Amino acid sequence: MKILVPVKRLLDYNVKPRVKSDGSGIDLAGAKMSMNPFDEIAVEEAVRLKEKGVATEVIAVSCGPTACQETLRTAMAIGADRAILVESADELQPLAVAKLLKALVDKEQPGLVILGKQAIDDDCNQTGQMLAALAGLPQATFASKVEVADGKAVITREVDGGLERLEVKLPAIVTTDLRLNEPRYVTLPNIMKAKKKTLDIVKPAELGVDVAPRIKTLKVVEPPKRGAGVKVPDVATLVAKLKNEAKVI
């Protein structure tokens, strides 16, 4: 069984985003980029399933500019066997990515596609669900445990009241939650090995997909700056301020 793992390259989670002066988006020029953290968890899970003998091949996919090759090399250093870059310099919204992934699902026929539950740059939480709909496959989102046996996957999800377990027939689409696993540390020998693994490049047109954006960003603004705090000498002053100035009690 093959497992397809879509990985998105985005602004590193440790970097504070800077809004472009014209409000058209986030300024990524010269910024540190890395793999979406939920996708690292997805790659780790796929590699663990291969190590258990459940999967035979793990294929990482990224849709975006040439620089996504770096992200794919990281996925291969974690343990993915090969990678596919769907190369495009255009903005790729979740629907476009889902259509590209659907074309790759048709081509590669994976038993599982494991995506991140959301990309931490746009917080869309849409791509996995859209892919499931387009491909007509069952989906189990926000997985905190994945067990695969007998052509089925049992997915545990953390819901408000406790744990929910879902069974889906393979092939299926799964998205990862934070506590599914802790991705392994990428070692230097594995980084070197990853350089020799196959990385194929295709263009959206070769997959027959129109990636034109369907949603227009009107404006991106910085969150309002927090004012400086004040120190109060005692509880009585605090209560008085909450009552008379903030008027919250």
Choice between 124 and 186, CB closer to ligand AMP: 124
Q: How far is the CB of 120 from ligand AMP (least distance, A)?
A: 8
Mapping DSSP to helix (H, G, I), strand (E, B) and coil, where does residue 4 land? strand
From residue 148 to residue 177, the character string flagging contacts with ligand AMP as x (rule: CB under 6 A) and all else as - is: ------------------------------
Regarding 37 and contact with ligand AMP (CB under 6 A), the answer is no
CB count, 10 Å around CB of 39? 29
Regarding 7 and contact with ligand AMP (CB under 6 A), the answer is yes
Distance, in Å, from the CA atom of 210 to the CA atom of 218, rounded to the nearest integer, reads 22
Q: How far is the CB of 166 from ligand AMP (least distance, A)?
A: 19
Choice between 68 and 148, CB closer to ligand AMP: 68
Regarding 36 and contact with ligand AMP (CB under 6 A), the answer is yes
Distance, in Å, from the CA atom of 45 to the CA atom of 208, rounded to the nearest integer, reads 30
Pairing of strands 112-116, 2-6: parallel
Which of 2, 3, 4, 8 lies at the binding interface for ligand AMP (CB under 6 A)?
8
Regarding 204 and contact with ligand AMP (CB under 6 A), the answer is no
Residues 75-94 that bind ligand AMP (CB under 6 A): 92, 94
- Residue from 65, 68, 122 nearest 94 by CA: 122
Q: How far is the CB of 189 from ligand AMP (least distance, A)?
A: 26
Our measurement of the distance from residue 242's CA atom to the centroid of its chain's CA atoms, rounded to an integer in Å, reads 42
DSSP-H helix ranges across the chain: 37-51, 68-78, 94-108, 127-135, 188-195, 235-244
From residue 96 to residue 135, the character string flagging contacts with ligand AMP as x (rule: CB under 6 A) and all else as - is: -x-----------------xx-xx--x-xxxxx-------
Regarding 74 and contact with ligand AMP (CB under 6 A), the answer is no
Residue 132 buriedness (CB in 10 A; 0-12 / 13-18 / 19+):
buried
- 224 secondary structure, DSSP code: P
Mapping DSSP to helix (H, G, I), strand (E, B) and coil, where does residue 205 land? helix
Query: Could you tell me how many residues of this chain bind ligand AMP (CB under 6 A)?
Result: 23
Which of 38, 58, 77, 105 lies at the binding interface for ligand AMP (CB under 6 A)?
38
Cis peptide before 6 (omega within 30 of 0): no
Q: Return residues touching ligand AMP (CB under 6 A).
A: 6-8, 36, 38-39, 61-64, 92, 94, 97, 115-116, 118-119, 122, 124-128
